Amino acid sequence: MPVVLIAAALAVVGLARVRHNPEAPPAGGDAGAAGPAVSGVPDRQTLRDLMPPGVRIGSAVDGRGLSLDPAYRTLLGAEFNGITAENAMKWRNLEPAPGVHAWTGADQIIEFAQQHGQAVYGHTLVWHSDVPKWVSPDWPPERIRAVLREHVTTVVSRYRGRVWGWDVVNEVLDEDGTLRDTLWLRKLGPGYVADAFRWAHAADPAARLFINDYGVEGRTRKADALLQLVRELRRSGVPVDGVGFQSHLRWDQPPRDLVGNLRRFAQAGVSVAVTELDVRVALPATPAKLEQQAKLYRQVLRACLAVPACVSFTVWGFTDARSWIPGYHRGYGAACLFDDSLAPKPAHAALLDELRRQPPRSGTGPSPG
């Protein structure tokens, strides 16, 4: 079937996916389909307008912003062609009681994405955090395994064809590169990682499956261990398609050899993605700090665009008004592209400028897959 027809068919069934087909029409091209002219849409080129084909620009989305703040919705739709649920798809929020699901928040995000031509990145299936309280560490391994499997299968099946990629496992490594001591590791042994990927793949064979972590952006010990883990998993036939680099960075600590690090993962045959970028500054935020921050945002975007296997670049929230940073990193804040009143910061200008400087791509999309 000609590529145009395939793309048209996907559009008809509402499948907004990252295009891995090098001949697919440019991702930036659907920016115009972001919806009718809405008041508040910036009267300038946006990030998604300028993003090269084959690479998504995404943001994590906050449920309250989405349901309560029209200006937030407008900017989210205008600037990004990818979206990640900041919290709505975490297990604790999805299944408050055994077998009782609360899908509304996640469904709203999927719907918003469909209306705005955005790809949904699913976050996250297996994590040591945000496990529902009813999952008891006192249960025997078989029971733990059964509920985990059921969770992965139910969620991935529900969103089959509507979520292009999943963080299947999140933060499975410790700082020293060993597997993190979690309920899953203690009860199920290291094989739970491979199992999770196999369950997710069985539930949606077309979804791209990622292993996601922090502290792995530069050439760290943890990054070395992650690379080794990915190689081992793939050698054993485990369907790991990609590695997510969270990228919660500090304005004064650029990662070491980001490009080289992304490249060595790409050489292992996987896609790479910047999944949760923010750049926190020590408060008070001064103009000088915000300039440094802008440089770092630019550096990460440039690195992603320099590596053909980099399929998406996602920020962890786009406005300081709703960022998780002040609540979790005492003394830090101002980590996002837009300020508290949704005005663009130097970091946003730096990304636009970086995108304008990119040489036009000759249809070479992300390599794997």
Positions in the binding site for ligand XIL (CB under 6 A): 86-87, 170, 246, 276, 324
Its sign, for the CA torsion 165, 170, 171, 177, is negative
> Rounded to whole angstroms, how far apart are CA atoms 300 and 34?
26
Task: Determine contact, residues 7/17, Cβ cutoff 8 Å.
Answer: no
SS3 of 115, please? helix
User: In 3-state terms, what secondary structure has residue 166?
Assistant: strand
**Catalytic residue (one of 79, 86, 95, 171):** 171
Least distance CB 124 / ligand XIL (angstroms): 6
CA pair distance 117, 11, nearest whole angstrom: 9
CB of 323 to ligand XIL, least distance (A): 8
In the numeric block, the tokens 């550096």 are attached to 299
Asked whether 220 and 227 are in contact (CB, 8 A), the reply is: no
CB of 131 to ligand XIL, least distance (A): 13
Nearer to ligand XIL, 170 or 314 (CB): 170
Q: Which is nearer to ligand XIL, 79 or 276 (CB)?
A: 276
Closer CB to ligand XIL, residue 246 or residue 299?
246
Burial of 295 (0-12, 13-18, 19+ CB in 10 A): middle
Q: Is 276 a catalytic residue?
A: yes
Task: Identify how many contiguous H helices and E strands the chain contains and give both numbers.
Answer: 14, 10
Residue 164 or 324 having the CB closest to ligand XIL? 324
Provide the token pair at 69: 């703040």
Can 86 be counted among the known catalytic residues?
no
Residues 79, 86, 95, 276: which is the catalytic one?
276
Question: Which residue has its beta carbon closest to ligand XIL?
Answer: 324
CB of 56 to ligand XIL, least distance (A): 18
Measured from the CB atom, the residue of 34 and 120 that comes closer to ligand XIL is 120
Least Å distance, CB 250 to ligand XIL, is: 14
φ, ψ of residue 311 in degrees (nearest 5) = -100, -20
Token digits of residue 184 = 């899953």
Q: Which residues are catalytic?
A: 171, 276
